[in-house]
Structure 1
């Protein structure tokens, strides 16, 4: 059988061996380098996210510390020391009521200077800056309290002052004032519970009224 000749346009047909030689085999070093580069990128991203989380945690701690500082949060030892100091100051102070609204701290100090050395005079005001009509007088000596109590019902600006020892407010303890007796209303008591079967059908506090039957009397 005769072999047929094939005409090749543009050149000769390459052999199979030459075609296999042209294909390069994969390089394992290049693949390993690419894998290492991807791992390095992932590690950098993880470090970046971890840094962001640490920054957020630091910002939260700073914000919490700021809020606690504004709210005056302190440890129990500091609170106990402050409470003890406040009690010591209150033991050297008196409450002065029925103070004239036009009275100044200097005038209150002059009124109580005969009792002892006045350290501070505080006239309480409302949120609008108007006096509330009472003040606190703090002395240097504890013995001055008894002398200041002797000025109870003394007059200042034509008004009788009410002088009492200052009370120490305990944090977290609210003083409950009972309801005062009203002579016009008296004490109100709740009506005891009564079953619906015990109610009178004729009204509260009323008894049934029976009428006598009428007789026919034609010759009256």
Structure 2
């Protein structure tokens, strides 16, 4: 009787061990397939971005098309949620996405972008300029497209003559050194 119990326990553990080996093999096959798919996608992304300038142009055109359907909303209350902003702009047209920008700590910056499905909704949204949401007057403008390489100057603008400045003069005697006329080391009456 005791031998039968031991034989059953041994067969159960052998069966469990075989089942675990089978499941481990399936998981390893899935992981290998996932790694292969990820490598393929990364390869496609890198070749598309680096070799195909037409893809970059298409991407820029796509950004411009999305920006033509979007508005910038300034002076948004910090406690506003994207759903509340979407409800505020629902009368203009179908809202595709609401993005409330936040800083690295997750706190809202006080402005948002609203993307519509149709470009005509932007003109309707501009009519809501200076409307109130959470007791704050919203500033609504059409979203501008960022052009890579265009720098926006903040503060003092550079002089137009900055590129035509002469090269600085460097003294041959070293920094801060000026030639000095000294007395000779020994006395010379006819000097």
Q: Which TM-score band applies after superposition, normalised by the shorter structure? A: 0.5 to 0.7
1:109 maps to what in 2?
86
Taking the TM superposition and a 5 Å limit, the aligned residue runs for 1:86-165 are 86-165=63-142
CA–CA distance in 2 between the matches of 1:177 and 1:95?
20
Please give the per-residue CA displacement for 1:110-152, whole angstroms capped at 9, x wherever unaligned. 0000000000000001111111100000001111111100111
Give the SS at the match of 1:101: coil
Distance in 2 separating the partners of 1:166 and 1:73: 28
Higher relative contact order (CA 8 A, sep 6+): 2
Question: How far apart are 1:173 and its partner, in Å?
Answer: 1.6
**Structure 1: 4+ residue segments shifted above 6 A:** none
Q: Deviations over 1:76-123 (max 9, x none)?
A: 111100000000000000000000010000000000000000000000
- 2:149 is equivalent to residue 172 of structure 1: yes
Mapped partners of 1:148, 1:126: distance in 2: 26
CA RMSD of superposed structures (Å): 2.4
Q: Distance in 1 between matches of 2:108 and 2:85?
A: 14
> For 1:142-165, what per-residue CA distance to the aligned partner results, in whole angstroms no more than 9, with x for missing partners?
111111001111000000000000
Map of 1:179-218 to 2, 5 A cutoff?
A: 179=156
| Runs of 5+ consecutive residues of structure 2 not aligned to the other structure | 1-41, 158-191
Distance between the aligned counterparts of 1:125 and 1:148, measured in 2? 22
Q: Please tell me whether Structure 1 or Structure 2 has the larger radius of gyration of its CA atoms.
A: 1
1:4-153 matches, within 5 Å, as 69=46, 73=50, 75-153=52-130
Tell me: CA distance 1:105–1:82, structure 2 relative to 1, closer, same or farther (3 Å).
same
Aligned residues: 115
Unaligned segments of structure 1, at least 5 residues: 1-64, 181-220
* C-alpha distance in structure 2 between counterparts of 1:173 and 1:74, whole Å: 23
CA 1:162–1:74: 2 relative to 1, 3 Å: farther
Q: What secondary structure, in the 3-state scheme, does the structure 1 residue paired with 2:62 have?
A: helix
Question: Matches of 1:158 and 1:74 in 2, distance apart?
Answer: 51
Q: TM-score, normalised by structure 2?
A: 0.55
Please give the secondary structure, in 2, of the residue aligned with 1:172: coil
Q: Give the structure with the higher percent helix.
A: 2
